[in-house]
Structure 1
Amino acid sequence: MYPKKIALFMHGIEAGVFTRLGAALIRGFRQMGISDCDLIVLNATSEEKSWYPDINIVSLNVKHATYALLPLARYLRDYNPDVIFPMPWYFNVIAIWARRLAGASTKVIMTEHNVISLEASIEHRNQLKLRYLPLVMRYSYPFGHGVIGVAQDVLTDLVEQVKVSPHIPMTVIPNTVDIEQIQRLAHEPISHPWFDQAQAPVILTVARLAKQKRLDILIRAFSQVLKTMEARLLILGKGPLRTDLESLCQELQIDQFVSMPGYVPNPYGFMARCRVFVLTSAWEGCPIALQEAFACGAATIVPDSPGGAKDLVDYGKYGMVVPAGDPKILAEAMVKMLQQPDLQQHYRQRALQRSHDFQSLTICKQYLDFYEAVCS
């Protein structure tokens, strides 16, 4: 039996991909007849809530996840949803202990969106709370009721590296994306001189400027592309490595061919108009940017690194796959894609075909079927 009341728990309205994912899931649940759904966040102003007028947003009114335990416990005690889906990893731990503190009957189905051992040891190695959180996860997760991983590598890492008990019910469900909204927004005009007619082909990535994304590999590969043909590289996103990446472009003397305008609220027009969309991450969960690029009909190139990127392209069926961390092979793949219009068109068509696998109703049904299995 499907739940009557569902809660999702995440950081905040400004949380980017998680906010979009949460909103898409709630809309999907509602289409399936479950109207009582709450999106719980740490803090949200009235203005932020107005950005999602169709979503019931519950603010815990705290500034940091560390302080969310008691407010979430009060919410679970007062409203007692049938199930709560926290995201990402540290919110899983909070939800588990909040439920126990509240004495609620709510099922806690955790969601994992990244390769946690790498995320903790590399991306967050200087943040002690996050670096040692996998140890807390190891001993907390058995008190939850199930785990949804966005890729098989995510669950494998959870069991083999984080040492979470393999006896917890687990399943793989990819992220959902709002295909109709993405395709509508993709038709809106974009403002960038490189997309005028008769300009050089544009290579695009949308990523946080962080260690995980290995944008240095992309920049070095792009510098080799320029030795063969004219092209441009557009990097949409913000993050702590911006200065380092700008310095690398200057060092390689390609800064005039690389644009990093920062975060763009609507990247879909760029995805629809680029010649090739590229990811170079050292690891990924289920990269929503790649799923969104599929919905825009972008030809894609991804690495074979740990995580779900290679799964999303089905190992070459829906996009090209290259060895991770090799600028030379990546450059050759980008040149091949740029110089062969038929190959581009082939992968554009395959991308649109693949995007339908991530329709909200399809993914929401998988969530609810797993909930039923956990309850049985």
Structure 2
Amino acid sequence: MDPAVDIIFYTRQLHNGGVDRVVFNLAGEFLRRGIKSSIVVDVDNPHSPFRTLIPEGIGYDVLEARGPIARLFKLRSYLRKSRPSAVMCASFGFPNLYAIVVRWISGLRFHLMLTEHCFPSVDRAGPKPWQSRYWFFPLAHYLYPFADRIVAVSKGTALDLAKVIGIDPKSISCIYNPLVSDGLIEQAKQPVDHPWFADDTVPIVIGVGRLEPQKNFSLLIRAFARVRAQMPARLVILGDGSERDMLRNLVADMDLGGDVALLGFVPNPHAYVAKADLMVLSSDFESLANVVIEALAVGTPVIATDCPSGPAEALNHGQCGTLVPVGDLDRMSTAILEALRERPAPIARDWLDQFSEREVADRYLDLLALDAR
């Protein structure tokens, strides 16, 4: 533990998704400004590939707290020792409530910000739906207003959060995720170790994300099968998760093994996305859809489902990419065919400024009332 830490990012654990990258990006930008931060988790996740990607100079502390009482008292003890200027909660659900209560019982004065990265009406706050409906939402209604700031990563997420916990939407600020940086562009230039990317005669469609039901990669695979029946093409999917075996079986059942590659988790997905001809997001819901913005940043055209609520905001309601209805196999396959044949031009760069690490960090620091040094 670093006793001189300025900001603590508190979350349940590291996973293998976009929230972890967002925290790393923001913490890294803070550090470049002389603001030290640490990531504090209730429990370690030894299976998370993101544990090895924490930027140098950013702390990582594990509370080893596995129950509500343990979380309250171990977090209180940690904060009393570290005495940060601010705590930013980066998990949807009960960790946010723990942080509010801990500030009451700790006797400490620090700026408390709750950041919402999920879509609350769909994502569950607990492992079972009833825990959200009967415990989390009612408690959040009373406790969330005691935080100094509440931030959502998209306007749609802010409205959804306000609705499900019954608070004033004006009490929630919207700050998009810090995704675009010189570092991302440099990573995108790195080579990739896959022979398909050395062959520019066959276009490559790419999907990136956790292999979980929310992402609906089975829809993407089925849409690609229709595309492949009409023109040569290949599909690469990056990510890992509980649906890995199901998706592999689907690829085999559809006889697509020669043209679909599930490459698992890769530390630098930007290099693959930059060299693909098209990024497709097939999700049923998204808070913001980080991969869409990252694809735009490296110049790769995007097709995304118009799901609640992030893709429409990320794509400026279809002006910066193509939106298709959620779950619509016909519209998705048609959109992919059109994009591969027409090769859309890259979008104007100024649209991406609102997603830059520098601009987003400025907004967070303004809300946290901390000065960049």
TM bin, normalised by shorter chain, reads: 0.7 to 0.9
Report the counterpart of residue 259 of structure 1 in structure 2: 261
> Aligned-pair distance for 1:233?
1.1
1:302 is displaced (CA, Å) by 1.1
Measured in 1, the distance between the counterparts of 2:240 and 2:52 equals 23
Deviations 1:126-168 (Å, cap 9, x if unpaired)? 57656754444334323322210011111111122x2232177
Aligned residues of 1:49 and 1:57 also touching (Cα < 8 A): no
| Shift of residue 125, structure 1, vs aligned partner | 6.6
Distance 2:20 2:239 in 1: 16
* Unaligned ranges ≥5, structure 2: none
Matched letter for residue 118 of structure 2: N
Q: Tell me what 1:37 maps to.
A: 37
Q: Is the 8 A contact 1:145 1:168 kept in 2?
A: no
The alpha-carbon distance between structure 1 residues 241 and 94, as it changes in their structure 2 partners (threshold 3 A), is same
Distance in 2 of aligned mates of 1:130 and 1:199: 50
Name the residue aligned to 1:306.
308
**Aligned residue in 1 for 2:360:** 363
Q: Distance in 2 between matches of 1:52 and 1:68?
A: 25
C-alpha RMSD of the superposition: 2.9
Q: Does 1:195 align with 2:197?
A: yes
The TM-score, its normalising length taken from structure 1, stands at: 0.86
Name the counterpart of 1:75: 78
* Separation in structure 2 between the aligned mates of residue 62 and residue 310 of structure 1, nearest angstrom: 38
TM alignment of 1:118-129, pairs within 5 A: 118-120=122-124, 126=128
Tell me the CA shift for residue 83 of structure 1: 2.0
Q: 1:65 to 1:357 in 2, by over 3 A?
A: farther
Q: 1:241 to 1:205 in 2, by over 3 A?
A: same
C-alpha change, 1:48 and 1:331, in structure 2 (3 Å) is: closer
Offset from partner CA, 1:173-195 (integer Å, 9 cap, x none): 01102522222122221111211
Equivalent of 1:96 in 96, 100, 109: 100
Q: CA deviation at 1:214?
A: 1.3
Q: 1:304 to 1:236 in 2, by over 3 A?
A: same
* 2:317 is the alignment partner of 1:315: yes
* 2:38 counterpart letter in structure 1: D
3-state SS in 2 of match to 1:212:
helix
Question: Corresponding residue for 2:335?
Answer: 333
- 3-state secondary structure, aligned to 2:42: strand
**Distance across 2 between alignment mates of 1:12 and 1:301:** 31
Inter-partner Cα distance in structure 1 for 2:130 and 2:264: 28
Aligned to 2:121, the other structure's residue is in SS state helix
**8 Å Cα contact 2:223/2:329 also seen in 1:** yes
SS of the counterpart of 1:58? Answer: strand
1:15, 1:198 → 2: CA distance? 30
For 1:180 and 1:213, the matched residues in 2 are separated by 28
- After TM superposition, give the deviation of residue 14 of structure 1 in Å: 5.7
Shift of 1:77: 2.5
* TM-score (normalizing by structure 2): 0.87
Whether the 8 Å CA contact 2:189–2:271 is kept in 1: the answer is yes
1:99 alignment partner AA: R
Cα offsets for 1:192-219 (capped at 9, x unmatched) = 1211224421100101111111112211
Superposed CA offset, 1:255-289 (max 9, x none) = 33211121111111110110000101111012222
Q: Which runs of no fewer than 5 residues in structure 1 stay unpaired?
A: none
Q: Are the structure 2 counterparts of residues 240 and 50 from structure 1 closer, same or farther at C-alpha, using a change threshold of 3 Å?
A: closer
More helix by share: 1
Match of 1:211 in 2: 213
